[in-house]
């Protein structure tokens, strides 16, 4: 025993015994195998694989620079066939004008890299101009202008003061009070205003009716509508001044004007029977004498300055001189026929069968010479005769006259 190891004693006879057992076993194994069968020795198997070379990657350089007044993006190295977008950005006060190396004028440019490429973004300083805006007398403007870059759009509004209207923008052919100016040079714009012209319209009614408006102050070009309405027992005849016979009237104001609605009483059977002669034929008025007077310068449109002998005969005289006329039918005198609806003769009712009747002017020749003469007036439509004697006749453009006449 060495260091705790125990060695067994060797016995020769034990070896002999083992050989006698192993040899038969080996022989049995050998003879159990087929004579044609080969015992293959284990081998290591190695696969034969062919390696393909990797393709060569081609790259190109995209060089992008900016001129004065701006910047660019997206330069560098890229694979062949790559689509790369480059962008130019102008600084304040500058604008992009194009690419050196390409015809495009767009700030964004997409290029395909099939070679090394170089581009430069080009910029220019934007021109600056002065826009001067002012208002003429009678209004204001929304802006006084200022300094603007070329291509700037500036909207300006003109507002007239009360009593004024906007006319135009100086030399610009635009009558709208709001315009938009495209700044392309130094420009001066002036708003022009004008005083609104105003006129007075006076509307009144004679006895026997009313009007829907009394008029007032209007701006030139305004339209005014008015209606004349007769009272019970009256009818509308016409509008004085404009000589229109429709009761509804619309006028466009262009001057000062005075309108009077003229009405007439409807025929009254009692009045018609109040004649001196009861037999058929002409009626002769031999009743009480009354006086009529129109003073110089008085308004012939007022009933008080008209001798309303019958519903259709209203004698008066204009202030511009001339002869008397029938304002129930005409708005002014007609030198030959006035007063329309009448005829005259120098003489008396007792001489009626021998008198020669004519228009007033033809019968008396000169109106100023008629004062103090006995006249007979024939109302043609009603076939009435009455006496008239003129007391006065104003000379010149004064319009005064007076007379006495008979009644039924």
Query: Where are the chain's structural domains?
Result: 59-125, 128-195, 200-266, 273-408
pLDDT score recorded for residue 338: 83
Closest of 69, 192, 163 to residue 124, by C-alpha? 69
- Tell me: cis bond preceding 56? Omega within 30 of 0 counts: no
Q: Averaged over 11-31, what is the pLDDT?
A: 50
Read off the tokens for 215.
Answer: 């008029």
Measured at the CA of 204, the angle between CA 201 and CA 208, to 5 degrees, comes to 160
pLDDT score recorded for residue 295: 92
Q: Give the span between the Cα atoms of 387 and 326, in whole angstroms.
A: 17
Q: What is the pLDDT of residues 195-217, one digit of tens each?
A: 988 899 999 998 889 999 988 99
pLDDT score recorded for residue 369: 82
pLDDT score recorded for residue 274: 42
Confidence of residue 23 (pLDDT cuts 50, 70, 90): low
Query: If 0-12 CB within 10 Å is exposed, 13-18 middle and 19+ buried, where does residue 259 land?
Result: buried
pLDDT score recorded for residue 220: 86
State the virtual CA torsion across 293, 298, 302, 303 in degrees, nearest 10. 0
Provide the mean pLDDT of the chain. Answer: 83
Residue that the structure tokens 């826009």 belong to: 131
Name the more confident of 273 and 362: 362
pLDDT over 90 for what percent of the chain?
A: 51
pLDDT higher than threshold 70 for residue 14:
no
Confidence of residue 147 (pLDDT cuts 50, 70, 90): very high
Q: Averaged over 2-9, what is the pLDDT?
A: 40
pLDDT higher than threshold 90 for residue 293:
yes
Q: Averaged over 52-81, what is the pLDDT?
A: 89
Q: What is the pLDDT of residues 229-270, one digit of tens each?
A: 999 888 888 887 776 778 898 989 989 998 999 888 776 443
| SS3 category, 157 | strand
pLDDT higher than threshold 60 for residue 6:
no
Q: Are 120 and 66 a contacting pair, CB within 8 Å?
A: yes
pLDDT score recorded for residue 316: 93
172 DSSP 8-state letter:
B
Sequence-separated (6 or more) residues with CB below 8 Å from residue 173: none
pLDDT score recorded for residue 45: 52
Confidence of residue 75 (pLDDT cuts 50, 70, 90): confident
Q: What is the pLDDT of residues 169-181, one digit of tens each?
A: 988 878 899 999 9
Measured at the CA of 231, the angle between CA 228 and CA 237, to 5 degrees, comes to 50
pLDDT higher than threshold 90 for residue 47:
no
Does the predicted model carry a pTM greater than 0.85? no
Chain-centroid distance of CA 407 in Å reads 63
Q: How many residues does the chain have?
A: 408
- Tell me: cis bond preceding 339? Omega within 30 of 0 counts: yes
pLDDT score recorded for residue 379: 94
pLDDT higher than threshold 70 for residue 151:
yes
pLDDT higher than threshold 60 for residue 2:
no
pLDDT higher than threshold 50 for residue 17:
no
pLDDT score recorded for residue 10: 45
pLDDT score recorded for residue 36: 54
In this structure, how many other beta carbons lie within 10 angstroms of the beta carbon of residue 123? 21
Q: Averaged over 15-42, what is the pLDDT?
A: 51
| Beta-bridge partners for 90 | 70
Q: What is the pLDDT of residues 387-407, one digit of tens each?
A: 999 999 988 778 899 999 998
Q: What is the pLDDT of residues 333-371, one digit of tens each?
A: 877 788 999 999 999 999 998 999 998 988 888 777 889
Name the more confident of 31 and 163: 163
Q: Are 97 and 107 a contacting pair, CB within 8 Å?
A: no
Q: Give the span between the Cα atoms of 376 and 343, in whole angstroms.
A: 9
pLDDT over 70 for what percent of the chain?
A: 83
pLDDT score recorded for residue 116: 95
In this structure, how many other beta carbons lie within 10 angstroms of the beta carbon of residue 177? 20
pLDDT score recorded for residue 8: 40
32, 33, 39, 40 from 36: Cα distances, Å: 12, 9, 10, 12
């Amino acid at each position: 025993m060495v260091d705790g190891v125990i060695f067994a004693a060797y016995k020769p006879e034990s070896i002999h015994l083992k050989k006698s057992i192993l040899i038969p076993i080996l022989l049995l194994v050998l003879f159990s195998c087929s004579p044609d069968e080969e015992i293959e020795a284990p081998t290591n198997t190695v696969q034969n694989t062919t390696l393909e070379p990797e393709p060569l990657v081609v790259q190109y350089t995209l060089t992008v620079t900016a001129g004065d007044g701006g910047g660019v993006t997206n330069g560098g190295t890229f694979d062949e066939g790559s689509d790369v977008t480059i962008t130019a950005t102008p600084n304040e006060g500058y604008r992009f004008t194009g690419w050196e190396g390409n015809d495009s004028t767009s700030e964004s440019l997409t290029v395909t890299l099939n070679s090394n490429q170089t581009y430069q973004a080009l910029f220019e300083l934007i021109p600056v101009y002065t826009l001067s805006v002012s208002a003429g007398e009678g209004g204001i403007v929304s802006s006084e202008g200022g300094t603007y870059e070329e291509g700037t759009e500036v909207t300006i509004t003109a507002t007239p003061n009360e009593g004024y209207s906007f006319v135009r923008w100086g030399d610009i052919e635009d009558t709208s009070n709001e315009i938009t100016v495209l700044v392309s040079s130094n420009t001066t714009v002036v708003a022009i205003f004008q005083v609104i012209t105003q006129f007075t319209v006076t509307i009144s009614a004679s006895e026997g009716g009313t009007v829907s408006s009394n008029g007032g102050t209007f701006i030139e070009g305004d339209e005014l509508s008015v209606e004349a309405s007769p009272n019970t027992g009256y009818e509308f005849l016409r509008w004085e001044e404009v000589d229109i016979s429709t009761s509804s009237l619309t006028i466009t104001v262009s001057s000062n004007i005075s309108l009077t609605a003229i009405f007439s009483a409807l025929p009254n059977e009692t009045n018609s029977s109040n004649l001196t002669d009861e037999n058929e034929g002409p009626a002769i008025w031999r009743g009480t004498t009354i006086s009529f007077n129109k003073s110089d310068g008085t308004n012939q449109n007022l009933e008080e300055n008209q001798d309303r002998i019958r519903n259709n005969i209203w004698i008066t005289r204009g202030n511009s001189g001339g002869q008397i006329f029938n304002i129930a039918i005409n708005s002014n005198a007609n030198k030959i026929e006035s007063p329309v609806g009448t005829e005259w003769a120098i003489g008396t009712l007792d001489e009626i069968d021998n008198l020669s009747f004519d228009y007033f002017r033809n019968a008396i020749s000169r109106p100023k010479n008629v004062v103090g003469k006995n006249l007979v007036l024939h109302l043609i439509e009603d076939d009435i005769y009455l006496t008239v004697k003129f007391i006065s006749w104003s000379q010149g453009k004064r319009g005064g006259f007076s007379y006495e006449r008979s009644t039924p």
